[in-house]
Amino acid sequence: MAKNDQSSAASVQEPAEIKKLRTQIKRNIVVSVIFHIITAGIIAGGVYGMTKAGFALLCVALFFAACTEVFAISLLRENKKVERRIELEKSRLASATVFADPLYKNKGYTYDMARELYCSHTGKKEKDLTKEDVSVIWQYSYDDFAYLLMWIIENNLYQPTKDFDEDEAREDKEYVSRIKRREKLPTDYLESYDGYFMEDSVKKKARAFVIGYFKNSYEDEVRKFAKENLNAELYGFPFRWEDYDAFKVHIDKAYAEYLENKK
């Protein structure tokens, strides 16, 4: 997915502490300008007064002018310290950034098992596998999550992860809409994202259910379904729409029970 510079929105998204510091800088600048003007006025008045009251008045004027100028300069020096505090605050916030956790993470960990099962089914040897064979094997390797991912998408419970920028989120939505229309497979999604699916890609209203269901009974239900209905082992069958339609009733039932228990 393409990256997009979002610096134009930075000021809107800045924390209250940084906004407060920026306001202090602006206030110091305004006050400093006012005192520079006062300084100039005092000096001008002293020069004018010297013609009336003598050199002593000019000295007094210069003394007060120096005081106001020192105060104005001190404000500008303070701004440099405030700017450093802003940079330190930005660094602290950047180091404290929390990224979303993956719900599903499979960087090819199940591919070898899927390949062995595929070769066993087809009678092919690993050296004879074509690109089409490899594509099907990758579908096998995502057997432990593909049905649940499709259910999330089909039920409008999917949202782009917060780790995406604006362009990535837009492209992601378009891609997922193609999966929902069944123009692409959920296994295509997983392959595109290197086998990752983030927890915050599930909307909040169903996130706790999806996480709990996936980490507990989901895989056992898929394994049982595959054995009884597909005569296959986990990581030994491709994603097919008719199989998903037959299995999704299990997820619907689990979600309905979850909602009932929440009442």
Question: What's the CA gap between 164 and 158, in Å, rounded?
Answer: 14
pTM: 0.63
Please check whether residues 157 and 250 belong to one and the same domain.
Answer: yes
178: closest CA among 166, 164, 192? 192
Domain of residue 66: give its range.
Answer: 14-95
Residue-level pLDDT, tens digit, the chain, 263 residues: 433 333 333 333 556 777 777 888 888 788 777 877 887 777 776 666 666 555 565 576 566 667 777 776 777 777 777 777 777 666 655 544 455 789 999 988 899 999 999 999 999 999 999 999 999 999 999 999 999 999 999 999 999 998 888 999 999 999 999 999 999 999 999 999 999 999 999 999 999 999 999 999 999 999 999 999 999 999 999 999 999 999 999 999 999 999 998 87
Number of domains in the chain: 2
Residue 99 per-residue DSSP state: P
- pLDDT given for residue 96 in this prediction: 42
Domain boundary, last residue among 60, 95, 130: 95
Question: What's the CA gap between 49 and 61, in Å, rounded?
Answer: 9
Please check whether residues 22 and 144 belong to one and the same domain.
Answer: no
- pLDDT given for residue 50 in this prediction: 62
